[in-house]
């Protein structure tokens, strides 16, 4: 195996993934970014999207994340996510129901604070449905 670094994906309730890997793609707030061994120090917010884990020049695993933060050092990349789901475990019907509910909640929002919360939930639900496609 080529040079590796430690990658960890953590959700509020548990450690989702932890292993040495060669390359990871993270959905950063300003766009996707790749992490290789020896990467420069980086802190970034993470938007709703897909994390891709590569090993031996092949895609090994994919996870949907609803958002969070990433910390990168030359030896490690840690993503603290608000929600994480292994991509092949996503139920497409449940994702579409979540999108419908988020749209309905946004339409019924009665305050600016509630509207902002519903807009974020809608953004995550849209990204989840897109991840299923």
94, 77: one domain: no
How many Å apart are CA 5 and CA 70, to the nearest integer? 14
Residue ranges making up the domain that contains 116? 90-132
83, 96: one domain: no
- The predicted model scores a pTM of 0.89
pLDDT tens sequence across 52-67:
999 988 999 999 999 9
53, 103: one domain: no
pLDDT tens sequence across 1-19:
469 999 999 999 899 999 9
39, 94: one domain: no
How many Å apart are CA 77 and CA 37, to the nearest integer? 9
pLDDT tens sequence across 86-114:
999 999 999 999 999 999 999 888 899 99
CATH number for the domain spanning 10: value is 2.60.15.10
Q: Count CB neighbours of 128 within 10 A.
A: 23
């Amino acid at each position: 195996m080529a040079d590796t670094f430690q990658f960890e994906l953590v959700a509020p309730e548990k450690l989702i993934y932890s292993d040495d890997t060669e390359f990871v793609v993270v959905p950063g707030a300003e766009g996707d970014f790749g992490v290789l061994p020896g990467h420069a120090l980086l802190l970034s917010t993470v938007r709703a999207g897909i994390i891709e884990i590569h090993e031996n020049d092949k895609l090994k695993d994919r996870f949907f994340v609803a958002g969070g933060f990433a910390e990168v050092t030359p030896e490690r990349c840690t993503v603290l996510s608000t929600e994480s789901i292994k991509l092949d475990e996503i139920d497409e019907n449940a994702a579409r129901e979540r999108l419908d509910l988020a749209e309905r909640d946004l339409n019924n929002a009665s305050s600016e604070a509630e509207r902002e919360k519903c807009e974020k939930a809608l953004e995550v639900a849209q990204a989840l449905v897109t991840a299923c496609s």
